[in-house]
Structure 1
Amino acid sequence: MADTFYGWTPPDVDAALFNDSNCGIAAQWLSAVINSRYNDTDLSDPPLMATYQYITALVPSGGELPTFGQVAQWLAVGSDNSTLYEAMVQFPYGYCPAEMCEKLVWDGDGDLAGVGVLVVYYLAAMFSTLYFVLISSDQFEPFRALEYHHRRWNWIVAAFHETVQAFLDTGLIFSIAMLIASVYRHGSSRMHPDKSHSIYQLTNATYIGIFSIFPPVLLQIVSPNRRRRRIRAFLWLVAIVLAVVLTALYYSLETNADKVLNLLDRESAVSDFIWELNCEPLDLRQGLDDALITALVILIVNFLPWAYHIFVPRTVRHSIRDRSCIGRLNTTKPGRHGRDWWKYVLTIVRTTDGAICCSMMWALLGLFTKYRSVVLSVMGPENANTEWSFAQVFALATWVPVAIDLCTIYIYGAKEGLEGKVSENFKVVANDNNDRKSSNGGGGGGIDGPNDVDYSNLDPYQIVPAQTKSAATSHYDAVSNDTQMQYVGSGGQFADGQYNNGVFSSNDNSNNSNNSNNTVPYGGNMSYDTTHYGAGGAGNVVGQFAPQQYAPQQFAPQYDQSMTKEPMEEVQLMGQYVQPMQAGQPVQQVQQVHQVQQVQPEQYRSNTVSSVQTHGSGQSTQPVTYEYMPQDPAAMHGGVQQ
């Protein structure tokens, strides 16, 4: 005789309505039972309402419907060793996989697959791709034949050149943080298997950890790598070690069945077990594993040259290069690109390598996005992957400083944008040794001549290029190349705008240029209203103004960097004035030079322009003279007291 519960007899298993129409109710009940066991509430708070709805749906037509109390008594007393209860568990598990996956109480992985962090991944990929494309293209000087477009290109690409270092540091630190979190998740799953560590979450940790390396790899390929090389090499070493450890931990799950069973053989892992068996998109999981292997191969190939330059001493590298056929050809074979043909080849190789890394990065991100969307469709709308959390909102701020730097340098120009990041104790100067031709906003910051000057309303500073002649002598030239000023004395020092004892002479290019009377001694500490530029001259020219004081576009002075404490960036106007020296007059010592007052560029206008030329006869032409606007009471009108 069948057991009764408050007068109600459960239906027979064969007669119960285990059909597709009851899949939703059955999946809801099993999910509630699993959740109560996971939370240890199966005895104190069993899912009575879900059980009542499920039992009622199973009663065949014409059968006796139970009351809520009868179902509660059956669940508390008669469910143990009940064939009906076993059938109720097996039905949704074996015949309703889609409904079971949708109703399963499963959190997913909001930390690595949430909406906010997915946006962070795409921002990193898009920014790094944009940097790589623009900086790589700039190596080939696009729009070279179109002057206006070339200037525009230089201005735009300068923002990327000058912020790539900061972006690389940020991306590298972000990648290391992701790798540390991923390794910790794997380690915690082995040390604390009683906690919830699903294989799905471990897969996400491995995949995203490896993906996060590719944006900084792209930036490293196009980065000049001139600053903080040791620190960055150490960061790359940390990232590489973490990537190796993470990969080993992940693939140990596929080669060691005991570790997998250790994750699933617990009460809290029932949902994970059901997910892995019925819900996991296995075809996409296999695609993730294949992409992961390909990505690791690419990273290993990029790691080899890095290890060569880091661990092999420089002297050994130079010796290998000089003795190799590449080193000999690079110094002997002119080739189409001159003697820098090997540098050109390396540029092509780096660009190709970057394109491969960029493609792999987007393949990883696209495949993960597809995998995430399939998981979301299987899980249903109620899961952590579709919800915003505090950490996801916080993660969006990762790339904000990079975007701010990029916009600032684009708006104000490279010089002004970078000077805004340092204190007033320092100033930004251009590297004129750079082989790239550009304006203040150009790719390398180097300037070749007046025709390469790019003026823009976006930049309050207008750079006038400095033409370098010979590195053997220090010479200045106001407008013309006729007179070169050569420092020949001892004791002449330029320090904080002061000139100490020294002798300057004029080297005239005329036929009768050997005139010792043109040597003029200077004594005392002549103080000027300049910062890093000293005073000097030959005969009639004794001074130089800092670029902050005057900005006429008519001058392109020439200089040698050995004349100053620091490399000079913008030499725009030279000239203090003495009265012309007649032949036969004794050389007199300059006693005092007037202080130079600051004059805004818009208050200046030139009246006459004439280079100072000292000829063999000793007669010199009139010096350069200027006229200033009357509203400037501090303007100088020339003159050195003798």
Structure 2
Amino acid sequence: MADISSYSWVPPANKISSLHYDNCDIPSEWLSNFYRSSHEWPMNATRNMILAGYNRYWIDNNITPPKPREVEDWYFNATFINKEKQPRNALVDSTFANCLDQFCSLLPWKGNADFAGRGMLATYATEAIFTTLYITILLIGQYGRRPKSGTWKNRLGRIHEATNESLRPFLDAALLLTIAMLVAANYNFGITIYDPTKAVTSTSCVMSAFVSLFTIFPTIALHTSASHSLRRSKFRTWTWGLIGALTASMMGLFIWAIYITGISRRYYYDGLGLDTSGQLFFERNCLNMDALIEFDNSLLILFAILGLVVLVYLLLRCLWRRPFSKKNRFLLKLRLIWPLLTVLWAVLAMWASFGVFVYYRKNLDSRAGDMSEDHEWSFGQILAIFTFAPVVIEWTSIWWEGAEEGLNGLMSDQYKVYRNDALPQVEETHAEIKA
């Protein structure tokens, strides 16, 4: 094998990094193949990489380009015999510096489809839009001017009635989605802490936590707007207790995993050897880490605001139960407008958090390639969208048939629904039948 010192075409040490490529096809393909083949250097691709990268240097210095075999001998001797890292590092650094976007797009990054896929994004948007429509209609019915015209009064009355009477299934669906997202987020953090070798990415953990907090806001808005007319209050109290416990657990695990033990940072290097899917490698090298840190901070701010509002509400509940609160005008007025303030705050927080999520989803996915599942629809995502299908069906049936007929359709023929103002007449009729 030839001595590398005899190669006049080899760049000196201070110019070993003078690589230049007309496009990023060769370097990005070379480096992606290296990482996808368990860190084994593909010799043919490496030879072509060197020939293409130093071609400009040889032309500028009037040096005859070497033969492919000479390039292979030089690189093999320098890297594997003399244990020199400079030639290899020059190729790697050049690719990272000039071709990072194309290189990252070739990596098998799968994304976070369970939380950020198109179907899930459509589910979040559907819930936010439906919540806004429901809240708007209910507030107009409660605080707006009612039309004097009989036709408009009947039409708007039907819409308000359908919205009010279908609010219960909507709230139940929102509660179910919130609990499901919180359980998934707790699992994500739990498995990361329990077994650090699991390739659970930071983006997966943070996104699961963020969307689970997002789903709480529409649920708060719906529950507050209808709490005065809903039954099963004890059951819903226990449900909110469960949501509170899951939220506190999730945020505790989040802070422990990200900030205290630093799992997302500490175990990157340990996990890379076990990360056969390449998810941790993509996150460490291709993601905008500043954006990820900002996303972490947004999650903490969101949780702090939610915790502050809950704390204020609990304090006010304690005050409203005291006898002196009935004589305090400020507390009386605050008690009257608190539901409205809570609903408006929850709707604003819902849309703000949704906007932040969409922004960072786009930012963190900007370098993903065709293998990213965030751009695909899965069976589970389609099922998630249909979480709110019963709400649409019930609203439509009540609006079309009226509240009594629409609600009657939800029960067997052994029972019948009557309006509260019709109860005296119904009781009188029943008494006559019995007589």
TM-score range, shorter chain: 0.7 to 0.9
Distance of 1:80 and 1:245 partners within structure 2: 53
Distance 1:271 1:118, change over 3 A: closer
Distance of 2:417 and 2:76 partners within structure 1: 83
Distance 1:192 1:253, change over 3 A: closer
Aligned to 2:87: 84
Distance 1:67 1:105, change over 3 A: farther
Identify, as 1 or 2, the structure richer in helix. 2
Aligned partner (choices 411, 414, 422) of residue 403 of structure 2: 414
- Aligned-residue sequence identity (percent) comes to 24
TM-score computed with the length of structure 2 as normaliser: 0.83
Contact 2:197–2:274, Cα closer than 8 Å, also in 1: yes
Letter aligned with residue 188 of structure 1: I
Residue 54 in 1 paired to residue 56 in 2? Answer: no
Structure 1 residue 191: Cα displacement:
1.5
Residue 32 in 1 paired to residue 27 in 2? Answer: no
Aligned to 1:189: 192
Distance 1:230 1:247, change over 3 A: same
Residue 533 in 1 paired to residue 430 in 2? Answer: yes
Aligned to 1:293: 301
Distance of 1:388 and 1:10 partners within structure 2: 53
Q: Mapping of 1:228-377 within 5 angstroms?
A: 228-256=232-260, 258-266=262-270, 267-268=273-274, 272=280, 275-276=283-284, 279-280=287-288, 282-283=290-291, 285-286=293-294, 289-290=297-298, 292-302=300-310, 304-305=312-313, 320=322, 323-324=323-324, 326-328=325-327, 342=332, 346-377=335-366
1:563-606: CA deviations, max 9, x gaps? x9xxxxxxxxxxxxxxxxxxxxxxxxxxxx9xxxxxxxxxxxxx
Distance of 1:393 and 1:47 partners within structure 2: 41
Structure 1 residue 400: Cα displacement:
0.9
Structure 1 residue 370: Cα displacement:
1.3
Identify, as 1 or 2, the structure richer in strand. 1
SS in 2 for 1:196: coil
Contact 1:295–1:360, Cα closer than 8 Å, also in 2: no
SS in 2 for 1:534: helix
Distance 1:198 1:164, change over 3 A: same
Distance of 2:265 and 2:296 partners within structure 1: 22
Contact 2:78–2:87, Cα closer than 8 Å, also in 1: no
Decide which structure has the larger Cα Rg and report it: 1
Distance of 1:68 and 1:200 partners within structure 2: 45
Contact 1:197–1:263, Cα closer than 8 Å, also in 2: no
TM-score computed with the length of structure 1 as normaliser: 0.58
Distance of 1:10 and 1:194 partners within structure 2: 45
Contact 2:118–2:375, Cα closer than 8 Å, also in 1: yes
Structure 1 residue 284: Cα displacement:
6.8
Aligned to 1:212: 215
Aligned to 2:61: none
Letter aligned with residue 388 of structure 1: W
Deviates more, 1:187-196 or 1:47-56: 47-56
Distance of 1:393 and 1:78 partners within structure 2: 52
Aligned partner (choices 88, 98, 112) of residue 101 of structure 2: 98
Aligned to 1:427: 416
Aligned to 1:176: 179
1:239-275: CA deviations, max 9, x gaps? 1111111112222345325433433122246763563
Contact 1:117–1:392, Cα closer than 8 Å, also in 2: yes
Letter aligned with residue 131 of structure 1: Y
Structure 1 residue 285: Cα displacement:
4.4
Aligned to 1:201: 204
Structure 2: which 5+ residue stretches go unaligned? 59-63
Distance 1:272 1:24, change over 3 A: farther
SS in 2 for 1:212: helix
Structure 1 residue 181: Cα displacement:
0.4
Distance 1:24 1:282, change over 3 A: farther
Structure 1 residue 140: Cα displacement:
1.8
Letter aligned with residue 189 of structure 1: T
Structure 1 residue 415: Cα displacement:
0.8
Q: Mapping of 1:347-496 within 5 angstroms?
A: 347-432=336-421
Letter aligned with residue 35 of structure 1: R
Distance of 2:77 and 2:381 partners within structure 1: 42
Structure 1 residue 75: Cα displacement:
10
Distance of 1:58 and 1:237 partners within structure 2: 62
Distance of 1:48 and 1:264 partners within structure 2: 28
Distance 1:153 1:115, change over 3 A: same
Aligned residue pairs: how many? 418
Structure 1 residue 86: Cα displacement:
2.8
SS in 1 for 2:394: helix
Distance of 1:406 and 1:292 partners within structure 2: 36
Deviates more, 1:134-143 or 1:191-200: 134-143
Q: CA RMSD in A?
A: 3.7
Contact 2:131–2:222, Cα closer than 8 Å, also in 1: yes
Distance 1:386 1:274, change over 3 A: closer
Contact 1:142–1:150, Cα closer than 8 Å, also in 2: no
Distance of 1:263 and 1:307 partners within structure 2: 42
